[in-house]
A and B are shown apart, each in its own frame.
Chain A
Amino acid sequence: MSNSKNTILSLRNVKKHFPIKEGVFQNVVGQVHAVDGVSFDIGAGETVGLVGESGCGKTTIGRCVSGLEPLTNGDIFFDLTPEKLLALEDFEKHQSEIKNKHLIDEIQSTSNISKIEGDDFYNYRRNCQMVFQDSFSSLSPRQLVSDIVSRPLKIHKVCADNELIPRTIELLEQVGLGKQHLYRFPHQFSGGQRQRISIARALALDPKLIVLDEPTSALDVSVQAQILNLLHDLQKQRGLSYLFITHNLSVIRHMADKIVVMYLGKVVEAGKTEDIFSNPQHPYTKALLAASPDLSEDVMSDMAALDGPIPDPARPPQGCSFRTRCPVSRTECGWEVDDIIRRLEHHETLIDSIKSVHQPDAFNAKLTFETSLSAIELKDVIGTNDIPKQMRKAIKKIEVDGNDVNISFDPVQTVPLVQSDNGSLSRCVLANK
């Protein structure tokens, strides 16, 4: 990170859990861990790419950053000077000995977007705008382009009423449209043009940060390139920072300075774009790169496409969350009883004969079957190749006791993000050694 530039956005251990509600009285029956402890920084004029499969929480992060969703936990800081960022990092390392308390207090009250209120938050609204994926649904069908683009100017009273239209035309010209498009409805435009209108609207308040939530996914390839070039030019002219959310790796390679790879609400790898593309550390990143057809020659060809479902984010796996689909999983990945249940999908009769599951924690369980035969069958199944070898090795104890089967694993802590050789961060037991 550059020492002279401000940090536009700093996410610190951000968590967003959505309650699962049921019934007439909307009782909370569980939590979906959409974002589970994410930290990264965006510098001034920098583009940070957020990649991952659908459902990994990348869009939720975008919505948290733009203030649409309140955080469950953690902080998002906006526009920190290098001194403030240092003080904050220092504060987090040594919680007990607070050296410069007033600076921390100042940061909390002026830069923490979930704590600032009133005018300060209004100010943050001006500085952080968003461009959405679906340009159909992001422009109101009943408003004219002139209304859409000038609306933020009106809300924030940026200019006098008679300057609204010239200013709007200026904005349209900056995104490659013109004043002949002023009095038209969004449905009269093509997808690429609508996305330009969205960009003009986002630029209206002259923000420092724009969250781009898959801005080109809905466009065809030739138009994608136009929009990406436009974004690139605007960044150069205005010194914008982008949080670029996408699942398209070639787009991210073209656009981003830094990349954050997410899986199941957690960051699995983060680092400079060229480092991650040339030398990915985490098996998930490797699999993503391998799955991207035009980049296949850059990475190891033995990484097959990922199979198996993404685990339920309401019950994310302990230890390493990727181990259930990881082609190079190991004994120490943090296997748990749920993994056995997940693997029993092909043995329906066995699943059906489970009478009860007593599970004091994720690593110990007592499964009770209807017959002792089923209990023995379970033990046999665990011995076969339906269960990955590394997982079988991780089982500490498996006992058949009449109709019951006692299983226990060695408990494992969540795998931490650690610095690897090339300077990027990765969350994998392989990098941990």
Chain B
Amino acid sequence: MKKNAQNAGIDEVNFNDSAFKVRLKRNLEILSNVLANPTTVLGLIVVIFMLAMAIFAPVITEPNTPDPYQMPRDWKAARSAPLTPGHILGTTNRGGDVFYGVVWGARTSLKLSILVVTLTVVLGVVIGSVAGIVGGKVDEILMRIVDVFLSIPELIFALAIAAILGPSFTNIILALVIVFWVKYARIMRAQVIRIKQREYVDAAKIMGASKLQIYLKDILPNSFSPVMVQATLDMGNIVLVGATLSFIGLSEAGIAEWGVLVSEGQAGISAGRWWASTFPGLMVFLWALAFNLVGDGLRDVLDPRTETKR
């Protein structure tokens, strides 16, 4: 019987396996599955390009002093066309260097999306977990609050909050956090409710594991992948919504941010000065597209329905 069990359906025996190696191998497998999809690879390349631009912004362009997030103003060269010496992508009608704005805008966008995603994921996961685990009236109340938030279109809601708080970059972050946490709460609650009915949770209870142990070891790791997919998608969406708010003028004027730059350049479009709006607009588009492609690829690989096929 013993021999039988060893031979059935198992790949070659490897006595040198260790827990660390096996986990590493599995993560590499997941990675190779992600990379098997060409559109995901394309998205990933663009994402890496954007991240590199954000990280190496001070190397690529000379940082403006005293605040590098402020656009440098070269009034003498205002309204230059692209390929002007010193202003490779041209300047705005207020002398802002479009190339500087594009590069440092990546840094601003990265800061914005990482801050908002981190805060919303933490908030959503905590509230969703409480609703899912405690259940009953607490769940009902929390989910009705979530319903109220979800019933308002996210762009309009973010706009309203940012308008009430007053124009500043911090307020945009705040407004986006208030709007975006609800999705995570919903996803997390559904996942927790699904996972907590699994028999391995019962088995852990029977072993005598504490509630915290069960949450951290059984429920959280098994319910996190949809949250991760949503977070990747939101890395793109948040920049899109953030740029919209900046474009309307709810951000600080003059900072190196794509939405602000598009807004600054729009006055010149009718006069044929297309570059000041087009390049930052293209960046917003590429950023959102790239993260959406990567998110979709992740979803295909991490989807719980395809989990057993691995």
Contacts and interface: CB of A to CB of B under 8 A. Distances in A.
Contacts of B206: 66-68, 125, 128-130
B303 interface: no
Contacts of B208: 122, 125-126, 152, 155-156
A77 interface: no
Interface in A135-150: 136-144, 146-147
A189 B1 contact: no
B137 A140 contact: no
A144 B198 contact: no
Given A26-B140, A180-B15, A130 B203 contact: yes
B64 to A, nearest CB: 47
Contacts of A155: 207-209, 213
A229 B5 CA distance: 14
Contacts, number: 122
A151 to B, nearest CB: 6
B199 A193 contact: no
Interface in A1-35: 24-26
B158 to A, nearest CB: 29
Interface residues of A, number: 55
B278 to A, nearest CB: 46
A166 interface: no
A183 B17 contact: yes
A176 interface: yes
Contact of B22 (A156, A183, A190, A230): A183
B310 interface: yes
Interface string A43-73: 0000000000000000000010011100000
A68 B205 contact: yes
A369 interface: no
A355 to B, nearest CB: 36
Contacts of B209: 151, 155
Interface in A172-195: 173, 176-185, 187-190, 192-193
Contacts of B307: 141, 187
A176 B5 contact: yes
Contacts of A187: 307-308, 310
A201 interface: yes
A43 B268 CA distance: 90
A41 interface: no
Contacts of B198: 137-138, 140
Contacts of A188: 10-11
B140 A177 contact: no
B222 interface: yes
A359 interface: no
Contacts of B203: 130, 132, 138, 198, 201
B21 interface: yes
Nearest to A229: B1
B222 A141 contact: yes
Interface in A87-105: none
A68 B202 contact: yes
B151 interface: no
B5 A139 contact: no
Contacts of B213: 155
B308 to A, nearest CB: 6
A242 B243 CA distance: 65
A189 B94 CA distance: 67
B2 A176 contact: yes
Contacts of A136: 308
Contact of B199 (A134, A144, A147, A177): A134
A196 interface: yes
A157 to B, nearest CB: 11
A414 interface: no
B15 A151 contact: no
B33 to A, nearest CB: 14
B200 A140 contact: yes
A156 B213 CA distance: 13
A176 B308 contact: no
A230 B2 CA distance: 10
A432 interface: no
A226 interface: yes
Interface in B125-151: 136-137, 140, 144
Contacts of A177: 5-6
A183 B1 contact: no
B5 A196 contact: yes
B202 A176 contact: no
Interface string B18-29: 110111001000
Contacts of B14: 180
Nearest to B13: A180
B222 A180 contact: no
B4 interface: yes
B8 A190 contact: yes
B214 to A, nearest CB: 10
B222 A140 contact: yes
Contacts of B4: 176, 226
B9 interface: yes
Most A C-beta atoms less than 10 A away, residue of B2, B4, B136, B203: B203
Contacts of B205: 67-68
Contacts of B15: 179-180
A177 B10 CA distance: 12
Interface in A301-354: none
A189 B9 contact: yes
A190 B9 CA distance: 7
Nearest to A182: B17
Given A68-B202, A138-B203, A26 B137 contact: yes
Nearest to A222: B4
Contact of B21 (A138, A183, A190): A183
B1 A142 contact: no
A411 B136 CA distance: 39
Contacts of A139: 200
A185 B29 CA distance: 13
Contacts of B221: 140, 142
A371 B9 CA distance: 70
Interface of A: 24-26, 63, 66-68, 122, 125-126, 128-130, 132-134, 136-144, 146-147, 151-152, 155-156, 173, 176-185, 187-190, 192-193, 196, 198, 201, 205, 226, 229-230
9 contacts: A24-B144, A26-B136, A128-B206, A132-B202, A140-B200, A141-B308, A142-B221, A151-B207, A152-B208
3 nearest A-B residue pairs (beta carbon): A138-B199, A125-B208, A183-B17
Given A180-B6, A226-B5, 9 more contacts: A24-B144, A26-B136, A129-B207, A138-B203, A141-B307, A142-B222, A183-B19, A189-B9, A190-B8
